[in-house]
Amino acid sequence: MSLSIHDIHAQLTQRYANDDGVRVELIEGLTPAVMVELEEYGDLDIIVASSGEQIVVSTILVPASQVKDVAGLNAACMRLNPINPLSNLGITTDADGVENYVVFGELSTRSGIDAIDEEIQALAANTIDAVEALRPYFD
């Protein structure tokens, strides 16, 4: 059975109902998504989106406008990516044309809530590790 974004929202809301350090919010729009804010990781916002047969879990690493050495950061990201378990690094452009470096992971919509939550937690930890490793390239 495939999970819709509304199923994921309901299950994550239930999972974190008694955890004051985690906030779960459904973001309605053309493509609904779930935002999970993790206090333990400095109020890091993780976005969970679902499309077709894929669930994407992502967060912004750094806005591209805050990178002082693009070539150096890109090379460092390529070296970090293979040793970053369950997460990838990339660049996205939002609807306003703003580029961001992101950390992301992908799962099947047939994944259960335990696997989705594991991806959220791994992504948060990997993002903090990536920020620390890549900080010399940021303004």
Q: What is the CATH number of the domain that holds 117?
A: 3.30.1460.10
Residue 1, pLDDT > 80, answer no
* Confidence band, pLDDT 50/70/90 cuts, at residue 29: confident
Q: What is the pLDDT of residue 12?
A: 97
Using alpha carbons, select from 1, 81, 10 the residue that is nearest to residue 48.
Answer: 10
**Total tally of structural domains belonging to the chain:** 1
pLDDT in tens, 59-81: 999 999 999 999 999 999 999 88
Q: What is the pLDDT of residue 2?
A: 83
> What span, in angstroms and rounded, lies between the C-alpha atoms of 24 and 37?
7
Quote the domain boundaries for residue 12: 5-137
> Do the bridges between strand 99-108 and strand 33-38 make them parallel or antiparallel, or are there none, so unpaired?
unpaired
pLDDT (average), residues 107-136: 95
Residue 29's region, left for phi above 0, alpha for psi from -120 to 50, else beta, is left
Residue 15, pLDDT > 80, answer yes
* Confidence band, pLDDT 50/70/90 cuts, at residue 101: very high
Question: Are the beta carbons of 38 and 124 closer than 8 angstroms?
Answer: yes
Q: What is the pLDDT of residue 139?
A: 86
Q: What is the pLDDT of residue 34?
A: 98
Residue 117, pLDDT > 80, answer yes
Question: Are the beta carbons of 9 and 23 closer than 8 angstroms?
Answer: no
Ranges assigned E (strand) in 11-117: 22-27, 33-38, 44-51, 54-63, 88-93, 99-108
